Amino acid sequence: MTETKKLNLYVLSDSIGETSFKLAQAVMAQFPNVETTYNRYPFIRNEKQINEVVQRAHDEGGLVIHTLATKGLAALVHQACVIAHVPDFDLMTPVIQEVTKQTGEMPTYEAGAIHHLNEKYFDRISAMEFAVLYDDGKDPKGFLEADVVLLGPSRTSKTPLSLFLAGRNLKVANLPLVPQAHIPEELWKVDRKKIIGLTNDVEVLNNIRRERMIAYGLNPDTTYSNVDEIRNELKFAHDLYEKLGCMVINVAQRSIEETATLILEHLGLDDYRPNAMK
């Protein structure tokens, strides 16, 4: 019977240590017959902590793996490991040095910097949830919390735009406009700069609506796609936009990305370009 191979890994980080731990796991996944003990040491801050870990690695055997961003800590680990004759592997410094060499930019040496990216990710998820919650005017209270409020007749790209802008961490609410429909009081309390009125060409809107009805297996010639009704809807929308004094964008010949860029520039967020998500 084959004896089970065992290995101790000492995983050091100056943050919570998820990066170094996941990398260690990824490596050891290549050795399914090795029984691995992961000894995790997060929030390493000083030489005393380092020496204690390295001493344990020396006494019990194994490898030291670390992702230490704080300036000087990685060098201290390596020095201690050389003295104790313990193999150590720095998973960050070589790459950081090469990036500095190629870009000329200096690293921040900030522990846990990756979690700022995670915070942006969760902000984006929150913005997506907001867009879904306040889609199609489901709750007018959302207008008062939104970064952007999109108005427009049916099929003027309100929902796709809401989700696209949510991907830029913006909270977006939208309201479909129908002639004679009640306009929520909350809308009049919103900063006009945050309100975007969407419109379209009559012919384009007619074609889009007819195609939508056909896709549903329904008669394309209905009130919904009637040219005169579309003109009434667009006039109602434009009259409202004029009263609000809001920005108006015709989406007829524009992609979602192009319309979003106009909105972001209007809001003073023109650094958020399409395909340049932060």
- Measured in degrees and rounded to the nearest 5, phi and psi for residue 89 equal -130, 115
Tell me: is residue 153 an annotated ligand-binding position.
yes
Tell me: is residue 17 an annotated ligand-binding position.
no
For residues 91, 92, 96, 97, the Cα torsion angle rounded to the nearest 10 degrees is -60
Tell me: is residue 155 an annotated ligand-binding position.
yes
> By the 8 A CB rule, do 42 and 90 touch?
no
Tell me: is residue 159 an annotated ligand-binding position.
yes
> By the 8 A CB rule, do 163 and 131 touch?
yes
Tell me: is residue 56 an annotated ligand-binding position.
no
Tell me: is residue 42 an annotated ligand-binding position.
no
Q: How far apart are CA 42 and CA 10, in angstroms?
A: 11
Identify the CA nearest to 158 among candidates 131, 183, 140. 131
> By the 8 A CB rule, do 135 and 181 touch?
no
> By the 8 A CB rule, do 8 and 61 touch?
yes
Residue with tokens 């929030």: 43
> By the 8 A CB rule, do 197 and 240 touch?
yes
Beta partners for residue 247, in sequence order: 196
- Give the burial class of 12: count Cβ atoms within 10 A of its Cβ; 0-12 exposed, 13-18 middle, 19 or more buried: buried
Around 70, how many Cα atoms within 13 Å sit in the side-chain half-sphere?
A: 16
Q: How far apart are CA 86 and CA 246, in angstroms?
A: 67
If you ran DSSP here, which 8-state letter would residue 121 be given?
H
SS3 (DSSP) at 41: strand
Which residue ranges make up the annotated binding site?
152-159
Which residue ranges make up the annotated binding site for ADP?
152-159
